Chain A
Amino acid sequence: MTPSSSNTSFRWPSDRLLLWLLHGAASIAGAIVILIAAFLILEALPVLRHISPLRFFTDSSWHPAEGLYKLTPMLWGTLLAMAGSVLIATPLGIFSAVFCHYYAPQALARPYRRLIELLAGIPSVVYGFWGLVVLVPLIGEIHPPGPSLLAGILILTIMILPTIALMADASLANVPQHYLRGAAALGLPRGAAIRGVVLPAAKSGLFTGVILETGRAIGETMAILMVCGNVVQTPSSIFDPIRTLTANIALEMAYALGDHRAALFVSGLVLMTMIIALTIAAEWISRGRR
């Protein structure tokens, strides 16, 4: 739908001025990403100039003080924590939206939705603080040391759950009523109707929700920093501590100088690349859908 289909040309002077102003605003908004990328590259250049980019993957470890810059373990940390939390949060979030729409009594659905909305806005510091004093000791009792990939996955799950739950909730609300009536008329039981009719109809909204939560899972910093243990290693079990790329920046940025600082900007570039890849993938998949 193109609302500008009304064929009025811009014959008023005020219209031309307005259009200039709007183009100015949009240019600023659109340029921010380019500016961010440019500054990341600019600040990363000092280290990229005399170290081959390959070394960020082939060095023996991450010890910037001793000139070793391996990023791969942290890349794995980020990817594993993201994958784990998305895998748990997606079904949980969709179930919780289905609960809101089709299972909960009216008196329960509304406060439940309020609760989820509140959780969407709670700062990561608060989640991290809670994870550190409650969740981590609990995991430590089961399998030491406690701060671990598992703790990270669980805390991330809790943090991204509202995103997918709210998105799923909104897309279920958009499924036309008569779809369900039709299913009911065919004698389909409730669960089967939801599985066979509602969820496929809401697919594209659910998909957007998954993309959004994945973005949040990649970008989360403070809570992850507090519960993951921050040891730079490729984990061999979910009880091993990990460090993510974002935690690495937060942990060392204030202390870093020279090449070390530039290497942290390289971590930032890697994160940015992941987000761009995610956006392109989302675009590609949704285009394939159409």
Chain B
Amino acid sequence: MGEDRVETLNRTQNPREWLATVLVWGAATLVTAIFSWLLGDILWHGLSHISWAFLTAPPENAGRRGGIGPILVSTALILGVCLAVSLPIGIGTAILLAEFTSAQSLFGRVTRRSLDVLAGVPSIVVGLFGNAFFCKALGLGFSILSGGLTLACMVLPILIRSTEEGFRAVPVSYRLSAASLGLSRTTTLLHLLLPAAVPSLLVGLVLGIGRAIAETAALIFTSGYVDRMPESLLDSGRALSIHIFDLSMNVSGGDANAYASSLVLVVLLLAINGTASWLANYGLHRKIVTI
């Protein structure tokens, strides 16, 4: 990517060309400036508070002092539940939509439409649903389990869309050769198609994790506020983004730790995004499948 620029383009100097160049550079500079300001602000205020102790210690004095150890663990557990549920359902749906359903069939069409809508449902509405369904109707209460399941609902459309693209990108000849060899479709799927679709599955996965880890609104009503080290999935656990929200909005003198927690979250995202683009690039060079 990025190598597709065409240097052969004629760079005639007329006023409209000059204007276009100024506009494009101006927009890029503006975007960079705004975001450097934002990131610089977080870095400037947060960096001095980050230490090994901050990452591991429990919060003290309502989060003004101490660290974010239990909160990182809760966040990881919520993510774990989310992925454990959304991965099998997501991959299964993607396989069905890409391999076994024609684009015109009613089942495929209905499922795809409903996923399109789900992708757009505001997170706060998903949160309301999670509270009413997982916490109340299923009786899970404020818990890591409820939070993870709610996030799974949000992540599914991203995961399915990306995985489906991966399956569609596998050349039809793979399937035809497998069929002519008399392989069952299950075998074809597990040994041929799935490995080929793994890179785009991973990209979808990482995008989903990014969305889930940044979520605040849906978690307030489902995974709750307790900042203790969780002992089971039925315990309530505070996610990192909720911790930032509470420190900056409800706890006087919480700003320093709010900045530091934001920085941790940004670094986590940086790591996840880095993994995503690395996997995407790696996947491009690895189209040959070994059984």
CA–CA, A219 to B154, complex, Å?
Answer: 12
CA–CA, A67 to B184, complex, Å?
Answer: 64
- The reply to whether B92 and A130 contact each other, CB–CB distance below 8 Å, is no
- The reply to whether B122 and A122 contact each other, CB–CB distance below 8 Å, is no
Contact code string B74-100 (vs A, CB < 8 Å = 1, else 0) = 000000000000001111110111111
CB distance from A282 to the nearest CB of B (A): 8
Is A237 engaged at the interface, CB distance under 8 Å to the other chain? Answer: no
- The reply to whether A126 and B120 contact each other, CB–CB distance below 8 Å, is no
- Return chain B residues, CB-CB under 8 Å to A43: 128, 132
Is B56 engaged at the interface, CB distance under 8 Å to the other chain? Answer: no
Chain A residue with Cβ nearest B167: A3
Residues 199-229 (chain A) with a chain B CB within 8 angstroms: 215, 218-222, 226
CA–CA, A195 to B153, complex, Å?
Answer: 40
Contacts A8-B185, A14-B184, A249-B128; is A1 near B216 (CB within 8 Å)? no
- The reply to whether B6 and A184 contact each other, CB–CB distance below 8 Å, is yes
- The reply to whether B20 and A191 contact each other, CB–CB distance below 8 Å, is yes
- Return chain B residues, CB-CB under 8 Å to A24: 92
Return the contact of B172 from the options A3, A117, A187 (Cβ within 8 A).
Answer: A3
Chain B residue with Cβ nearest A177: B4
- The reply to whether A12 and B248 contact each other, CB–CB distance below 8 Å, is no
Is A75 engaged at the interface, CB distance under 8 Å to the other chain? Answer: no
- Return chain B residues, CB-CB under 8 Å to A121: 210-211, 213-214, 269, 272-273
Is B121 engaged at the interface, CB distance under 8 Å to the other chain? Answer: yes
Is A190 engaged at the interface, CB distance under 8 Å to the other chain? Answer: yes
Is B202 engaged at the interface, CB distance under 8 Å to the other chain? Answer: no
- The reply to whether A3 and B4 contact each other, CB–CB distance below 8 Å, is no
**How many residues of A sit at the interface, in one of the four size bands?**
35 or more
Contact code string B33-53 (vs A, CB < 8 Å = 1, else 0) = 011011101100000000000
Main secondary structure of the interface of A (DSSP, over half): helix
- Return chain A residues, CB-CB under 8 Å to B92: 21-22, 24-26
CA–CA, A278 to B122, complex, Å?
Answer: 13
- The reply to whether B121 and A191 contact each other, CB–CB distance below 8 Å, is no
Contact code string B119-143 (vs A, CB < 8 Å = 1, else 0) = 1111111101100110001000000
- Return chain B residues, CB-CB under 8 Å to A40: 125, 128-129
- Return chain A residues, CB-CB under 8 Å to B160: 29
CA–CA, A216 to B114, complex, Å?
Answer: 17
- Return chain A residues, CB-CB under 8 Å to B186: 12, 14-15, 17-18
Contacts from B to A (Cβ < 8 Å) = 1-6, 8-12, 14, 16-17, 19-21, 23-28, 30-32, 34-35, 37-39, 41-42, 88-93, 95-103, 107, 110-111, 113-126, 128-129, 132-133, 137, 153, 156, 160, 167-168, 170, 172, 175-176, 179, 184-186, 189, 210-211, 213-217, 220-221, 241, 244-245, 248-249, 258, 262, 265-266, 269-270, 272-273, 276-277
Contacts from A to B (Cβ < 8 Å) = 1-8, 10, 12, 14-15, 17-19, 21-36, 39-40, 42-43, 91-92, 95-96, 98-104, 106, 109-110, 112-127, 129-130, 132, 134, 158, 161, 165, 173, 177, 180-181, 183-184, 187-195, 215, 218-222, 226, 246, 249-250, 253-254, 264-265, 268, 271-272, 275-276, 278-279, 283
Shortest Cβ-Cβ A-B pairs, 7 listed: A25-B92, A219-B122, A191-B20, A123-B214, A95-B27, A215-B120, A12-B184
User: Please, could you name 17 A-B residue pairs with CB atoms under 8 Å apart, sorted by A?
Assistant: A12-B185, A15-B186, A18-B189, A19-B100, A33-B115, A99-B28, A100-B28, A118-B39, A126-B42, A130-B42, A177-B6, A193-B9, A219-B120, A221-B217, A246-B122, A246-B124, A279-B113
